[in-house]
Structure 1
Amino acid sequence: METKYNSWRGGYRQMSDEENTQIVKKSRLTCCCGGKNKSMKETFWYYWILFRTMYPSFLSNSFGYTLILIVTAVAKQVNIYNIGLVPSTFYLSLLDNSREEFKNILWEMCILVITVSLCVTTESLIQDLLALTWRFRLTNKIQLKYFQANNIQNILHNRKVLDNPDQRITQDIYRLTKQMAEILVNIILKPFIIIYYTYQVWISVGWLGVVSVYSLFILSVFINKLLLNPVVNKVIRREQWEGDFRFVF
Structure 2
Amino acid sequence: MPRLEKTGKGTKRPKLDWRFVQRFCSIQKVLFPSWTSQSVLMFGTLLVVTLTEQLIIYQVGVLPSHFYNVLADKDSSGFRSLVGASMVLIILNSTLKSVDQYICNLMYVNWRKTLTESLHSAYFQGRVYYTLNVLREDIDNPDQRISQDAERLCKQMSSMASRLIVSPFTLSYYTYQCFHSTGWIGPASIFGYFLVGTVTNKILMGPIVSTLFEQEKLEGDFRFKHMQIRVNAESAAFFRAGKVEHMRTDRRLQALLWTQKSLINKELWLYIGVNTFDYLGGFLSYIIIAIPIFSGIYDGLTPGELSALISKNAFVCIYLINGFTQLIDLSTTLSDVAGYTHRIEELREVMDDILHKQCDYDPTSGQSYDFDSDFNVHGGPVDTAFVVEHLSYKSPYSDQLLVEDLSMKISQGTHLLVVGNTGTGKTSLLRILNRLWEADSGLVQMTTCFGPRGTLFLPQKPYLTDGTLREQVIYPLKDNYPASGSVDDDRIIRFLELAGVSSLLKRTGGLDEDVDWNWYDVLSPGEMQRLCFARLFYLQPQYAVLDEATSALTEDAEAQLYRTCKQLGMTLVSLGHRSSLEKYHDMQLRLCGGGRWELTKLKGAGWSSDHTEEDV
Same fold (TM over 0.5): yes
TM-score normalised by the chain length of structure 1: 0.74
- The question of 1:159 aligning with 2:137 is answered yes
Distance 1:46 1:190 in 2: 19
User: In the alignment, residue 70 of structure 2 is paired with which amino acid?
Assistant: S
TM-score normalised by the chain length of structure 2: 0.32
**How far 1:58 moved relative to its partner?**
4.7
Q: Which has the higher contact order (CA 8 A, sep 6+)?
A: 1
Alignment of 1:188-203 (within 5 A): 188-203=165-180
What residue ranges of structure 2 are gaps of 5+ in the alignment? 2-13, 229-616
Rg bigger for which structure?
Answer: 2
Query: Partner residue of 2:157?
Result: 180
Deviations 1:151-186 (A, max 9, x none): 0121123231x3221111122211221222233333
The residue matched to 2:147 in structure 1 has which SS? helix
The residue matched to 1:166 in structure 2 has which SS? helix
CA contact (8 A) 2:104 2:162 kept: no
Query: Partner residue of 1:71?
Result: 48
**How far 1:68 moved relative to its partner?**
2.0
Could you say if the C-alpha distance between residues 204 and 230 of structure 1 is closer, same or farther in structure 2, counting changes exceeding 3 Å? same
Query: Partner residue of 1:211?
Result: 188
CA contact (8 A) 2:70 2:78 kept: yes
Q: Give the alignment partner of residue 71 of structure 2, picking from 78, 91, 94.
A: 94
Alignment of 1:29-40 (within 5 A): none
The residue matched to 2:140 in structure 1 has which SS? coil
Query: Partner residue of 1:128?
Result: 105
- The question of 1:137 aligning with 2:114 is answered yes
**How far 1:141 moved relative to its partner?**
1.9
User: In the alignment, residue 122 of structure 1 is paired with which amino acid?
Assistant: V
The percentage of counterpart residues that share the same residue type is 33
Q: More displaced, 180-189 or 126-135?
A: 180-189
CA contact (8 A) 2:104 2:158 kept: yes
Could you say if the C-alpha distance between residues 219 and 238 of structure 1 is closer, same or farther in structure 2, counting changes exceeding 3 Å? same
**How far 1:101 moved relative to its partner?**
0.8
Query: Partner residue of 1:53?
Result: 30
Q: Give the alignment partner of residue 224 of structure 1, picking from 188, 191, 201.
A: 201
Q: More displaced, 193-202 or 99-108?
A: 193-202
**How far 1:221 moved relative to its partner?**
2.4
The residue matched to 1:144 in structure 2 has which SS? helix
Query: Partner residue of 1:29?
Result: none
**How far 1:193 moved relative to its partner?**
1.8
Distance 2:164 2:63 in 1: 28
User: In the alignment, residue 214 of structure 1 is paired with which amino acid?
Assistant: F
**How far 1:147 moved relative to its partner?**
1.6
Q: Give the alignment partner of residue 84 of structure 2, picking from 95, 104, 107.
A: 107
Distance 2:48 2:181 in 1: 29
Query: Partner residue of 2:569?
Result: none
Could you say if the C-alpha distance between residues 203 and 136 of structure 1 is closer, same or farther in structure 2, counting changes exceeding 3 Å? same
**How far 1:52 moved relative to its partner?**
4.5
- Pairs aligned (count): 212
Could you say if the C-alpha distance between residues 221 and 46 of structure 1 is closer, same or farther in structure 2, counting changes exceeding 3 Å? closer
CA contact (8 A) 2:100 2:162 kept: no
**How far 1:144 moved relative to its partner?**
2.2
What residue ranges of structure 1 are gaps of 5+ in the alignment? 1-20, 22-35
Distance 1:58 1:214 in 2: 34
Distance 1:228 1:141 in 2: 29
The residue matched to 1:159 in structure 2 has which SS? coil
Distance 1:212 1:64 in 2: 37
Deviations 1:24-43 (A, max 9, x none): xxxxxxxxxxxx89xx89x8
Q: More displaced, 61-70 or 180-189?
A: 180-189
